[in-house]
Structure 1
Amino acid sequence: MRLKLLLTTAALLAGPVLAADTDEARMNALVDQAVQRYQLPGIAVGVIEDGKVVRRITRGELAVGEGAEINDDTLFKIASNTKAMTAAVLARLVQAGTLRWDDPVTKYLPQFRMYDPWVTRNMQVRDLLIHNSGLGLGAGDLMLWPEPNRFDRNDIIAGLAHLKPTGSFRADYAYDNLLYVVAGEVAAAAAGKPYSVLVRQEIFQPLGMQRCQVGEWSPAELGNIARPHYRDGNRNIAAAADPARVDDFPSMAAGGIRCSLNDMLRWMQVLLDPTQAPGWLDTTQRRALWTAHMPMPISQRLRDWDNTHFLAYGYGWRLSDMDGQWKVAHTGTLSGMYSSLALLPDARNGVVILINGEAEDARTALMQAMLKRYTAPAASHDVLHYAQRMDQDAAQRRSAGHVRPAMPDRQPVTPSVSGNNTGIWRDAWFGEVQLCPHDGALRFSSIKSPQMSGKVMHSGQRWFVAWDTQGEDAEAWLEFSGDAKHSVMRMRAIDPEIDFSYDYQDLQFQRIGDCP
């Protein structure tokens, strides 16, 4: 009897350990599947269960081939996961009585203008955060991207007045970045401090997020920074290293913060459990962040994968149901770097994924596989299952004609055949571009966005721009209309799967002069 009791006790003690080991092995296996399936240069994954950090998993290098490994303190660009931090800064200011969610934007930024004067007067601080402005998807993003460029925050605020809406104010959801830039400036004006100072003061310092960076900072002094990577066939190519000093660039409040895995886990813990930082954010403001302020359309994928019935945008967060559980999440996308963060608040569980490569499908498949362990464990699948389903979706889009047209006859446009299309052109918000001869060919070059430069080519009778640095998936048709006195140039994306931040459709250039 005594031996049996000892054996039973040992088994009971060993059971949870064995289960933990099995769970750890499964999570490691899922991460490894994502790395191998999508040939990722590097990744950092963190998992929280019942408010406690239970896993930190890192793989790969800061820059491929250079040997420095990613760890828990490596800095990643979190991109649009910045939006939740911008919203939290505003919530802290509301809590302090510095501003109100329903204050008009013009109270703090008198120069603020939208295309419609009525919208200008009625745009409230809360409206800046929930993508209900009536602007089209990604409208004006070419003032933010590609970086670096010469647009500043004043240019962005002034440019909004020239962006024509595609819908009615507060009627429909369309994701935008520019109004988060405005939100950052509202916070700065209300508090009398720059946005970057407010983020450090209201979030990083009180929550102990020690490695996070915002505004101007020194990569050379900080070190351990993941570099973005681009795909070249089967290879990952590291982007150039950061300069010795990173500037406080205009899109900071929309997607400019960098954090480590440890920082993001601390952020998640505080959001899941108020006792982690008593008094930091009261119940009213926590509820405001995670209230469904703007309904969002539910994709067929969400219906099929998660049995989703509800989807909406809060203040910097997407809110939904996943297999009957409440989910609060967001993603972040910058060229060469992807992030994803998801919380299941009722169970105080969460997952964060940081990747320094082109990894849209990778983050989707991995996050899905990780979350299903909590929302539908009996029906959970691995990364390869979701990768296959996305491949099938992509094949269906291609068969339906959603594919970049083949252009085997690409040829440079020479100055001798360019006619009246050469010259200096101007768009009201994007500014001037030149379409001028250079080294025997015609080139497109932007004054305020130097990376938007490239050779003008033709395929058949159609002209397009082959960018020097942006790649074929971002190339754009050039379309001309009008007469010699009133010439108009428009741009259209060639690839139907182009990133929405290349908002060529919002540009309308007028010819204003000859080439210098």
Structure 2
Amino acid sequence: MAALLLAQAMHVAVAREPPGGEMRQAAIDAEVDAAFARFELPGLAVGVVEGGEITYVRTAGELHVGGGGPVTPATLFKIASNSKAMTTALLARLVDQGKLAWDDPVIEHLPDFRMHDPWVTREIQVRDLLIHNSGLGAGAGDLMLWPEPNLFTREDVIAGMAHLKPIHSFRSRYAYDNTLYIVAGEVAAAAAGAESYEVLLRRELFEPLGLERCRVGEWRRDEVGEVAQPHIRIEGRNVPVREDGEVVAAVPMAAAGGIRCSLDDMLRWVRMWLQPEREGLVDGRPWLSAEQRTALWTAHTPMPLGRRLREWEGARFNAYGYGWRLNDTDGLLKVSHTGTLAGMYSAVTLLPELGVGFVVLMNGGGSDARSALVQALSKRFTAPEEADRTVGDYADAIAAEAAADRDDGGASAPDTSSRQVAGVDGMTPWLGVYRDPWFGEASVCRRDDVVRFVAARSPMLSGTVMRVGERLLVDWDDVSVDAEAWLAFADADDANAPPTLAMAKVDPQADFSYDYQDLAFVRVGECP
């Protein structure tokens, strides 16, 4: 059955034969086939650029498992955090136009912008919005962005920044951030005098570079067609989640991770970076100056040098530029980024010294599938003598790492199988409406015979309160919200002050965007 499904899924595959590259093309085919089968991907699109030419394109699977039509090079995928490189390129274009400078204070363009520390508010520059050195914890404020859809506006997100407390000194270390990229998008719109970030991006990036199918802001599915839907694995099956309606709404996170593009679009994007004197010219000139391209690919913030980089790529440095990750791989410069949203995964990898770049887009399968395929593809170019290590080898290594971490007593999710619905009587002292300064209100109230947690502006964060031993957790209603949260109620030290509520991830390894630990709820009212 697996072989039959694989054969059916691959019937839409397309390959363009590179000159003299038949063996490499066959090898890449084998890796794509292996990734598709090993990780049981719902849909996949892969493309390679060499010497400024598109030498390989392959698509497989479905837009929507069970009859959504085939994935093609024109299919739209969420590129998630690969949107960041588009935002930084847009800012660089404004620098070229003299409309802003990287060291401009943010408040020069957004006078009402505030960080938690007044000194940081005065000192934070445009460049600081892009390089993950703000002092905030990883993913701080992401609950205003995900899970989507929610009711937060871009204005809510920017206002919320004043209430996010840093955990490190400003500019002292790397911690991945999304919310400040939203601020960066607003800086771009303000500096350009544009109606919005979306309008500016279409005008200054999509149109001149010919990214004809890329979408940002609000759009209609029937006017676009071929839109991949995200999937997660449930009981061994790919299940669509968070499916788009007829109208795809604008989202506040556009500048950080809200853009959708096709494989064809992303390959045009890659060609512009690898062949700037030939691709994406505007009035006969490169879309970006050499000076600004260098700024984007300059190491601005050191990043941890993980085991995989050291062992798989022989890397000696790892850093963040403006919207790009930078490291050495087998003695060559690698410029790359990944993107992750619930059920959607992307990767863009550039090897400028070889004139090579490739794109991977998936609508399911997980980050392990992406890592294994990207690593196997990279070795085909950076170290052909090691190309005998396949997707299967890297997938086995990833699985072995996870097993070793568990055996070594690494942080893992506790056993919560003994959970029971929390009794209403035992919860009575804590029932009420709570408010956090940046997240807003959430109710912890009785509904029939259970207690429900319901976030006012994030409807997907709704669930039933359960008891596990002496602890309480929220069992979210939506299966795509894959990080349950502990609840910890407490009386205030002042007897006249209201109770408080703190939250934390049940699984300490859950995605950092579930930043429950940053919430500080105080009860503000009774249940309606």
Same fold (TM over 0.5): yes
Match of 1:229 in 2: 231
CA distance in 2, matches of 1:349, 1:385: 23
| Cα distance in 2 between the residues matched to 1:394 and 1:459 | 26
Deviation of 1:470 (Å): 4.3
- The answer (yes or no) to whether the contact 1:466–1:472 under 8 Å persists in 2 is no
What residue number does 1:402 align with? 411
Unmatched 5+ stretches in structure 2: 1-16
- The amino acid of 1:238's aligned partner reads P
Assess if the C-alpha contact under 8 Å between 1:114 and 1:160 holds in 2: yes
372-381 or 173-182, which moves further after superposition? 372-381
The residue correspondences of 1:485-496 to structure 2 (distance < 5 A) are: 485-496=497-508
Counterpart for residue 139 of structure 2? 138
Distance apart, 1:464 and its partner CA? 0.4
Distance 1:233 1:506 in 2: 32
Q: Which residue of 2 aligns with 1:185?
A: 186
Name the residue aligned to 2:522.
Answer: 510
Deviation digits for residues 259-309 of structure 1 (CA, Å, limit 9, x no counterpart):
000000000000111121233111111111101111111111211111111
Query: Structure 1's 304 and 274: CA in aligned 2 closer, same or farther, altered over 3 A?
Result: same
The count of aligned residue pairs is 501
Q: 2:379 is matched by which residue type in structure 1? A: K
Relative to 1, partners in 2 of residues 1:18 and 1:257: Cα closer, same or farther, differing over 3 Å? closer
2:290 is matched with 283
What is the one-letter code of the residue matched to 2:183?
V
Establish whether residue 85 from structure 1 lines up as the match of residue 86 from structure 2. Answer: yes
- In the alignment, is the contact (CA less than 8 A) between 2:147 and 2:481 conserved in 1? no
| Secondary structure in 1 matching 2:247 | coil
Per the TM alignment, residue 397 of structure 1 is displaced from its structure 2 partner at its CA by 1.6
SS at match of 1:112: coil
Contact persistence 1:473–1:495 (CA under 8 A):
no
Query: What secondary structure does 1:274 align onto?
Result: coil
Report the CA distance between 1:486 and its aligned residue.
Answer: 3.2
> Larger deviation: 105-114 or 270-279?
270-279
Alignment partner, residue 4 of structure 1:
none
Partner of 1:95: 96
Percent same amino acid at aligned positions? 55
Aligned residue number for residue 271 of structure 1: 273
- Residues 1:391 and 2:392 aligned together: no
SS at match of 1:361: helix
Q: 1:239 Cα shift?
A: 2.6
Worse overlay, 214-223 or 114-123: 214-223
1:401 is displaced (CA, Å) by 3.7
Conserved 8 A contact 1:335-1:358: no
> 1:240–1:300: structure 2 CA closer, same or farther, 3 Å change rule?
closer
C-alpha deviation, 1:472, in angstroms: 7.4
Instruction: Give the secondary structure class of the aligned counterpart of 2:21.
Output: helix
Two-structure CA RMSD over aligned residues (Å): 1.4
- CA positional deviation for 1:240: 5.0
Residue deviations 1:206-260 (CA, integer Å, cap 9, x gap):
1111111011111121101111111112100123542222222100110000000
Q: What is the aligned partner in structure 2 of residue 238 from structure 1?
A: 240
Q: Tell me the distance in 1 between the aligned counterparts of 2:40 and 2:253.
A: 29
Q: Give the conservation status (yes or no) of the 8 Å contact 2:75–2:228.
A: yes
Give the Cα separation in 2 of the matches to 1:472 and 1:75: 23
After superposition, where does 1:439-450 map in structure 2 within 5 Å?
439-450=448-459
SS of the residue corresponding to residue 353 of structure 2 reads coil
- Could you say what secondary structure the match of 2:214 adopts? coil
Listed as ranges, the matches of 1:4-43 within 5 Å are 20-43=21-44
> Residue 134 of structure 2 aligns to a residue in which SS?
coil
Note the alpha carbon deviations across 1:374-426, whole angstroms, 9 max, x for none: 11111121100100110011001212242211122211112222131111111
> Deviation at 1:482?
2.2
Q: Following superposition of structure 1 onto structure 2, how do residues 360-439 of structure 1 map, counting pairs within 5 Å?
A: 360-380=367-387, 381-399=389-407, 400-439=409-448
SS of the residue corresponding to residue 233 of structure 2 reads strand
- The residue that corresponds to 1:204 in the other structure is 206
1:427-477 deviations in Å (ceiling 9; x for gaps): 110011000000210000000111110000001111000000145741011
1:137 Cα deviation after fit: 0.3
| Counterpart-to-counterpart distance in 2, 1:138 and 1:237 | 26
Q: Which amino acid aligns with 2:519?
A: L
- For residues 198 and 238 of structure 2, the distance between their equivalents in structure 1, rounded to whole angstroms, comes to 32
Per-residue deviation, residues 301-329 of structure 1 (Å, max 9, x unmatched): 21111111111111100011001000000
| Aligned-partner Cα distance in 2 for 1:471–1:108 | 37
Q: Distance in 2 between matches of 1:110 and 1:514?
A: 37
Q: Secondary structure at the match of 1:418?
A: helix
- Give the counterpart of 2:362 among 341, 355, 360: 355
- Aligned mate of 1:252, from 251, 254, 277: 254
Larger radius of gyration: 1
